[in-house]
Structure 1
Amino acid sequence: MLDRKLFGSMAPMQRHEHAGPMALRAMQDLATRTFPATGYRHIGDLTWNWCLSLDRDDECPTAVWTEGGRTLAWGWLDPPDSLMLQVDPDHPELAHDVLAWAERAAVGRPLHVEVAGTESHLVEALEKRGYTRAVDGPFMACLDRALTELPEVPRLPDGYAIRAQHDDTDVAGRAAAHRAAFGSTRVTTERHARMRDAWPYRPELDLVVTAPAGDVVAYCQGWYDEVNATGAFEPVGTHPDHRRLGLARAVCTAVLHAFARVGGRRAIVCSRGDAAYPVPKRLYESMGFTTHTRTHTFVGRRKPSD
């Protein structure tokens, strides 16, 4: 831990370093406060990323800057060179501290940093440090819609049903459906079970679609930020053998209604916005979502000695 004073402040600025994302709630505190300005980094998104880093704590260093117990900035390095960060817009100077910390932690590798277009203070800091904005390649579109005038949940094909997860079999099935949907091995039954114990998980917002045989074949996981009355989808998926049946539309619509029932006023989702992967974004737009910002990837300079 490093203590230092900034601009003559009587309260010391502290940097707390961890081998992994151990300070998740501190990060979420900043995410809640800055969300109205940026529309990015929902608290549920952070818990979801934490789930994916379980059992890799020693590979994912984090640092959190606080003052008087208040989180002002954080950085989270996902090996080998991907940096997530957030900085309070009222303290833009801390962006340089976070980037300097991450550049050291990356051991000479050029960092790849994804920020939203609404985070102008981070864009400015990256450009000042010589980072280059990637022109081509994938990016995320950040979409939202009001939780008013919601459409009815579409009727499913015979034998399919939408419900919350009931037991360990459902939990295992939900994890398996994710692996099939994305061709990924990162979501194990154990990781999904542990995530269900993490704040702000709510089982009534994490809905699945079951097939006639009873197996989980689609899902929409919803997260809710009570302070900002905003729900987020993260993730959404359908097993390849059950696509083109309207399952994703139906379960996402059901989660929108669940957000409204708990007092939500707005829903968001981040989806690929580039032409290489257009289908999910088209689905959300057909459900009334519109894009309010997008992400940009900045790449750091390689040191001459590398």
Structure 2
Amino acid sequence: MTIKPAAGDLAGAVAALREWQRDDAPVQLHPGDVGWFWRSGAEATAAAVRTWRRDGRIVAAGLLDGPDLLRLAVAPGALRDEELARQLAGDLADPARGVLPPGKVFLEAPPGALVRDLLAEDGWRAGEAWTPLVRDLTEPVADPGLRIEVTGPEQAPAWSAVLRASFDGSTFTEQRWHAMAAGAPFADARCLLAYDRGTAVAAVAVWSAGPGRRGLLEPVGVHPGHRRHGHGRAITLAAAAALRELGSSSALVSTPSTNVAAVATYRSAGFRQLPERLDLYRDA
């Protein structure tokens, strides 16, 4: 029995992450997160992926989402698997194994995973708090009250402009939209634009993991010139409706817990707040 990390197992990682998106499983890395990262291109995305296999099957997968942050997912049935947890902890602690670089690093790992306990024992500390929120999609979603359009190549400049304006320091471009749209996860995704009296005011990307599985909103943005008019709630409702049409069982969105306005917006759109999830970090 062999468990070892491997970089670049992109197709395998996406397939495994789709399989793990169950409503009865912990919130963790979603194939849509990989799809959003794909805006950097297929080569960069493959280089950022880490997978751990046992008997040929992926049991854990990670995305190096930036130079010092690994977002880790574990197969739901292996969350408390001691052999896997000790392998992960050893790989995360040793920069020579190529999972994380030396120096101060951060880890997002699913709640309840044994690897979190082992890392805490080894001196890793609690870091940034995130608030996940979910909405059941069994019942129809209310009309958002704005005109909503699905973004294709012709609308990519407008979608990109709204998203770029929504986040301080964003470098998102039309070219990045096309790179994202060329990625495998985008086959189960939709980009939506909300319009208020003919002006594009909010944008969202939604990612399905397949029928009967949890879908993801990532990213969600409202143009700063059009905030405080309910557009955040409207685009969130539109996103939930789109995921329901794609067959998702529920919709997930996460935001830093310090962003209380975003939490309130998602709750106003029918999302239920889950317990906070804490990142872990290791000092240099």
* TM-score with structure 1 setting the length: 0.78
Q: Which amino acid is the alignment partner of residue 87 of structure 2?
A: L
Identity rate, percent = 25
CA 1:211/1:288 → structure 2, altered by over 3 Å: closer, same or farther?
A: closer
Matching of residue 70 in structure 1 with residue 40 in structure 2: no
Task: Please provide the CA RMSD for this pair.
Answer: 2.8
> Residues of 1 paired with 2:120 and 2:133: CA distance?
26
Q: Which amino acid is the alignment partner of residue 143 of structure 2?
A: V
The aligned residue for residue 6 of structure 1 is none
CA 1:100/1:228 → structure 2, altered by over 3 Å: closer, same or farther?
A: farther
Q: Is the 8 A contact 2:28 2:73 kept in 1?
A: no
Q: Is the 8 A contact 1:73 1:94 kept in 2?
A: no
Q: Is the 8 A contact 2:37 2:65 kept in 1?
A: no
The equivalent position to 2:243 in structure 1, one of 244, 251, 259, is: 259
The equivalent position to 1:231 in structure 2, one of 202, 212, 215, is: 215
Matches within 5 A, 1:108-119: 108-116=102-110, 118-119=111-112
Q: Which amino acid is the alignment partner of residue 246 of structure 1?
A: G
The aligned residue for residue 87 of structure 2 is 94
> Residues of 1 paired with 2:61 and 2:213: CA distance?
23
CA 1:47/1:101 → structure 2, altered by over 3 Å: closer, same or farther?
A: farther
Q: What is the Cα deviation at residue 28 of structure 1? A: 2.3
Matching of residue 145 in structure 1 with residue 135 in structure 2: yes
Q: What is the Cα deviation at residue 38 of structure 1? A: 1.4
- For the residue of structure 2 that corresponds to 1:185, the secondary structure is coil
> Residues of 2 paired with 1:66 and 1:230: CA distance?
24
Q: Which amino acid is the alignment partner of residue 147 of structure 1?
A: L
Matching of residue 287 in structure 1 with residue 277 in structure 2: no
> Residues of 2 paired with 1:58 and 1:242: CA distance?
33
Q: Which amino acid is the alignment partner of residue 34 of structure 1?
A: W
> Residues of 1 paired with 2:219 and 2:135: CA distance?
17
Q: Is the 8 A contact 2:68 2:101 kept in 1?
A: no
Larger of the two Rg values belongs to structure = 1
* TM-score with structure 2 setting the length: 0.84
> Residues of 2 paired with 1:112 and 1:172: CA distance?
33
Q: What is the Cα deviation at residue 287 of structure 1? A: 1.7
The equivalent position to 1:207 in structure 2, one of 185, 192, 205, is: 192
CA 1:233/1:278 → structure 2, altered by over 3 Å: closer, same or farther?
A: same
Matches within 5 A, 1:35-50: 35-36=21-22, 37-50=25-38
What are the Cα deviations for residues 175-216 of structure 1, in whole angstroms up to 9, with x where unaligned? 111110002333221111121122232587321113545x53
Matches within 5 A, 1:110-129: 110-116=104-110, 118-129=111-122
> Residues of 2 paired with 1:227 and 1:58: CA distance?
25
CA 1:23/1:55 → structure 2, altered by over 3 Å: closer, same or farther?
A: closer
Q: Which amino acid is the alignment partner of residue 251 of structure 1?
A: I
What are the Cα deviations for residues 197-255 of structure 1, in whole angstroms up to 9, with x where unaligned? 22232587321113545x53311211111154222111111111122222222222122
The aligned residue for residue 270 of structure 1 is 254
> Residues of 2 paired with 1:124 and 1:255: CA distance?
35
> Residues of 2 paired with 1:77 and 1:255: CA distance?
26
Number of aligned pairs?
Answer: 275
From the two aligned structures, give the one with the greater helix fraction.
2
Q: What is the Cα deviation at residue 65 of structure 1? A: 2.0
